[in-house]
Amino acid sequence: MQFSFAKYQGAGNDFILIDDEKMRFPLEDASYISRLCHRRFGIGADGVVLLQSSEKADFRMRIFNADGKEAAQCGNGLRCLVDFIHQKGHRAQHFLIETQKRIIPCSWDSGLITIDFGPAEWLLEDFSLDDFSLHLINTGVPHLVAFVDQLNMSDFKSMGAKLRHHAAFSPEGANVNFAQLQGDKIYVRTYERGVEDETLACGTGAAAVAIAALKKYSLKNPVCIVPASKEELLVEATEETIRLKGPATCVFYGYVPYSFP
- Contact by Cβ (8 Å): 121, 83: no
Rounded to whole angstroms, what are the CA distances from 114 to 105, 111, 230?
A: 8, 10, 19
Q: What string of DSSP letters covers 131-158?
A: TEEEEEEESSSEEEEEE-S-S--TTHHH
Considering the candidates 37, 80, 106, 202, report the single residue annotated as catalytic: 202
- pLDDT score recorded for residue 218: 82
- pLDDT score recorded for residue 126: 86
- pLDDT score recorded for residue 1: 83
- pLDDT score recorded for residue 130: 82
DSSP state, residue 22:
T
Considering the candidates 74, 80, 224, 250, report the single residue annotated as catalytic: 74
pLDDT in tens, the chain (261 residues): 899 999 999 999 999 999 999 889 999 999 999 999 999 999 999 999 999 999 999 999 999 999 999 999 999 999 999 999 999 999 889 999 999 989 999 999 999 999 999 999 999 988 988 888 999 999 999 999 999 999 998 899 999 999 999 999 989 899 999 999 999 999 999 999 999 999 999 999 999 999 999 999 989 999 999 999 999 999 999 989 999 999 999 999 999 998 766
- pLDDT score recorded for residue 197: 95
**Does the active-site annotation cover 202?**
yes
CA nearest 145: which of 187, 181, 177, 192?
Answer: 177
Cβ contacts of 255 within 8 Å, gap of 6 or more? 2, 3, 4, 5
Rounded to whole angstroms, what are the CA distances from 234 to 18, 132, 147, 259?
A: 27, 26, 18, 40
The b/e string for 53-82 (b: 16+ C-beta within 10 A; e otherwise) is: ebeebbbbbbbbbbebebbebbbbbbbbbb
d(CA 257, CA 261): 10
- pLDDT score recorded for residue 91: 84
For 34, phi then psi, to 5°, come to: -60, -40
